[in-house]
Structure 1
Amino acid sequence: MLLAVIAACEIGFWVVLSAGLSARYLLKRRRLGAALLICVPLVDVVLITATVIDLRGGGTADFTHGLAAAYLGYSVAFGHSWIRWADERFAHRFAGGPPPTRKPKYGAARTKYEWREFGKCFIAWAIGCGVLLAMIAMVGDADRTEALYGWMGRLTMVLAIWSLWPITHTLWPAKPKPGEDVPAEPASRR
């Protein structure tokens, strides 16, 4: 049941986002679009509510409860940049907006970008682990929450692997190939 709620929330995220952008750019209803975009985080509220109801109702935590915590962490940490990413592309495609910004390819700008993305991953890890610990404390039964401890390990593994990108770009920054034109780095809004 909870896996279906997670899938519905993922689909709901993109449906509400698409509706908000469509209202903003296709229907030219900026207020309606803004209202719909503000509703995107409500999808996360639905997910955490369903998870809490399941656990409070006597359910034993399993893989899906941990997945819900991980989804919530990554959705909160990366949601704003996902919305901005979609908004830039939608505005360019349907409203004559400027071309979407791209991530920097080289040098200090790329290193800064990678550290910023790692910072989002760290926030996602902290939120996910915090939600897992809150679930464990809420249930108060080690036998029913054993699976959640494994998720803290999984999230920590993702964080450790993700850390390789900014470390690599810090130690060995990417450089353009000989003869390749390097465009001026625009001020990144991410």
Structure 2
Amino acid sequence: MGDFLSENPLVLLIGASEVGFWVLLAAGLAARYLLRARRLSTLLLLLVPVLDVVLVSAALVDVAGGSPPDATHGLAAVYLGGTVAFGHSLIRWADARFAHRFAGGPPPPRPPRYGAAKVAYEWREWGKIVLAWGIALAVMLLTATVAGTGVPAPSDWSADPMWSWGARLVPVVLIWFVGWPLWTTLSPPRAPETTDVRG
């Protein structure tokens, strides 16, 4: 394991970015709601996307220095896509719970369960994974361009160390589509009927 990490420092950076995301998020919310230091909180939360910039820059520097794009570069692209697409929602989710717990804020809102609101919600959530996939592919394309390796045909993605990560996300995107937005659109759940028991 130690040899793998020493030979693939980008994996360590991905792990550090994930840890850094949660540390900065917790510190930013603690500064806002416990210390009442709103400026410090804003600064800490603004540092979250800086982690993404550092990660993609390190990947590009690595291939520009002669390293061929491999699975770690693909993983970095997927991680970046995920943090960009889902990061804001995670911050909003954590902020609502922190405000409720420590600042007397309202209970965190729950996702809609019925009707058109539920359908719209599922399409928005699925759109995030599509966005994550698109960003990952864009970063892979940029990495391949910097490395000068070109882009394989989609049918060959599975055999390519980096682009195989793009292929792995295809079933995730499709299963999510069928299981949630499509299914909810075709059969939207209805709120249970309430019986008026007043005499």
Q: Answer yes or no: is the 8 Å Cα contact 1:136–1:148 preserved in 2.
A: no
Q: Answer yes or no: is the 8 Å Cα contact 1:73–1:123 preserved in 2.
A: yes
Q: Distance in 2 between matches of 1:55 and 1:138?
A: 7
User: After superposition, what is the alpha-carbon deviation per residue over 1:83-137, rounded to whole angstroms, capped at 9, x for unaligned?
Assistant: 1001000000111111001111111111110001111122111111111111111
Q: Please point out which of 154, 158, 161 is paired with 1:147.
A: 161
Q: Please point out which of 62, 77, 94 is paired with 2:70.
A: 62
Q: Please point out which of 19, 27, 30 is paired with 1:11.
A: 19
Larger radius of gyration: 2
Give the aligned CA root-mean-square deviation in angstroms.
Answer: 1.9
Greater shift, 150-159 or 119-128, is seen at 150-159
Greater shift, 12-21 or 50-59, is seen at 50-59
Query: What code does the residue aligned with 1:151 have?
Result: W
User: After superposition, what is the alpha-carbon deviation per residue over 1:129-161, rounded to whole angstroms, capped at 9, x for unaligned?
Assistant: 111111111111369x93122122122222212
Q: Distance in 1 between matches of 2:26 and 2:73?
A: 27
Mark the runs of 5 or more structure 1 residues left unpaired by the alignment.
181-190
Q: Answer yes or no: is the 8 Å Cα contact 2:97–2:107 preserved in 1.
A: yes
Count of residue correspondences: 179
Query: What code does the residue aligned with 1:147 have?
Result: P
Measured after TM superposition, the shift of residue 60 of structure 1 is 2.4
Q: 1:76 is matched with which residue?
A: 84
Q: 1:185 is matched with which residue?
A: none
Measured after TM superposition, the shift of residue 28 of structure 1 is 0.4
Listed as ranges, the matches of 1:17-166 within 5 Å are 17-141=25-149, 146-164=160-178, 165-166=180-181
How much identity, in percent, do the aligned residues show?
53
Q: Answer yes or no: is the 8 Å Cα contact 1:24–1:30 preserved in 2.
A: yes
